[in-house]
Amino acid sequence: MAYDDEQNAGKLPLVIAYIWLLGTMGLWGFAFYDSGDISAQSEWLQQARTACFGTDAHGLPDAGGWLLLTLAPLLFLLSLLIAFGKDLRLSLLAFNRQKLGRGLLVVTALLTLSHAAWAASEVMERRNIALASELSFQTGDFPENYPQTYSEAPDFSLVNYQGEDVTLSQYKGKAVILTFAFAHCQTVCPALISSAKKALSDFATDEVQLVVVTIDPWRDTQSALQSIHEKWELPENAVVLSGSEQEIQNILADYKYSSQRDEKTGDVVHPAIMHVVSPAGVLSYTFNNPSPEWLAASLSKLLYTS
């Protein structure tokens, strides 16, 4: 009798269950998949995800996004169980009696577990990157006795978006804000760039310069630099530079800058360090996530104090 019930249950509930499972996996994949390509399609994908799921301070979905990712699939599953619960159970039993069916169920289970592990890994990785990057924000008045250094800033040569060689030393005569960032960063890098732009706005363009060295040369290639410049809405006295992996590593070593790249996601855990170089090319100040006021005050001190 039970066997007859299984045969009569039909395959529709099982088909609907598979549609639900694939839809849920697709939804989570859409929310967290990163192709690692800074192309127009990648930018469109990011904008679409932000529109669907929102973005919190860590670059993860906001509260509404999490509701869409969790509550929507759960409500669909609950509706499926209410409408076809008995038939679904019988369909699974009938499917399991077939050799091909058992194999498909095993493959489905393995793919589901693999996808769940991947999604959990993506969420934890992005949150860890954000938390590792959240350093104390230096605010208040710039201290008159803030430690100043007097060593020559290590020079380097990288390329801009036009493919031209650019050196740090070519900006002698200007006070330079030097920092390290990457385009896919959604937490500390935009904050650093924003602080630097606000500080630059207090000065004439021929007095100060912002130099941003990518720490992600794998994705921030020379061909991508113009779109990065536009994305960050940088002024004319700012430049984003890239080079080979070895060239970037050498520069980071010269500036004693520690970073760690996740080979799976391509994201980089890095500190919120900003340097201020004097018009004479001296590495004068090193800050940890400084406010725009601190940056502006240090630039003024280097430019106008003899």
Give the CATH number, domain containing residue 161: 3.40.30.10
Residue 90 within a domain: yes
Residue 31 within a domain: yes
Separation between Cα atoms, residue 263 and residue 210, nearest integer Å? 29
| Listed residue (53, 55, 57) closest to 68, CA to CA | 53
Residue 208 within a domain: yes
Lowest mean pLDDT among 75-89, 114-128, 220-234, 235-249: 114-128
Given the structure tokens 């990163």, which residue do they identify?
34
* Total residues belonging to the chain: 306
Q: Does residue 129 sit in the same domain as residue 156?
A: no
Residue 144 within a domain: no
Residue 284, both tokens? 């004068």
Residue 141 within a domain: no
Q: Does residue 296 sit in the same domain as residue 158?
A: yes
Contact (Cβ atoms closer than 8 angstroms) between residue 234 and residue 193: yes
Residue 79 within a domain: yes
Q: Does residue 300 sit in the same domain as residue 155?
A: yes
Q: How many folded domains does the chain comprise?
A: 2
* Domain's final residue, options 101, 133, 165: 133
* Domain's final residue, options 133, 160, 192: 133
Residue 246 within a domain: yes
Confidence of residue 38 (pLDDT cuts 50, 70, 90): very low
Highest mean pLDDT among 9-18, 30-39, 124-133: 9-18
Q: Does residue 31 sit in the same domain as residue 66?
A: yes
Confidence of residue 268 (pLDDT cuts 50, 70, 90): confident
Average pLDDT over residues 174-198: 92
Burial class of 231 by CB neighbour count within 10 A (0 to 12, 13 to 18, 19+): middle
Q: Does residue 298 sit in the same domain as residue 174?
A: yes
Average pLDDT over residues 88-117: 85
The structure's pTM equals 0.59
Q: Does residue 53 sit in the same domain as residue 92?
A: yes
Residue 146 within a domain: no
Domain hosting residue 276, numbered range: 151-304
Q: Does residue 119 sit in the same domain as residue 170?
A: no
Strand ranges (DSSP E) for 200-263? 208-214, 238-241, 260-261
* Domain's final residue, options 133, 168, 195: 133
Computed over every residue of the chain, the mean pLDDT equals 84
Sign (positive/negative) of CA torsion 182, 187, 190, 195? Answer: negative
Q: Does residue 122 sit in the same domain as residue 158?
A: no
Q: Does residue 33 sit in the same domain as residue 161?
A: no
Separation between Cα atoms, residue 66 and residue 181, nearest integer Å? 28
Confidence of residue 162 (pLDDT cuts 50, 70, 90): very high
Give the pLDDT score at 135. 43
Q: Does residue 298 sit in the same domain as residue 175?
A: yes
- Residue predicted with more confidence, 260 or 228: 228
Q: Does residue 300 sit in the same domain as residue 165?
A: yes
Q: Does residue 199 sit in the same domain as residue 101?
A: no
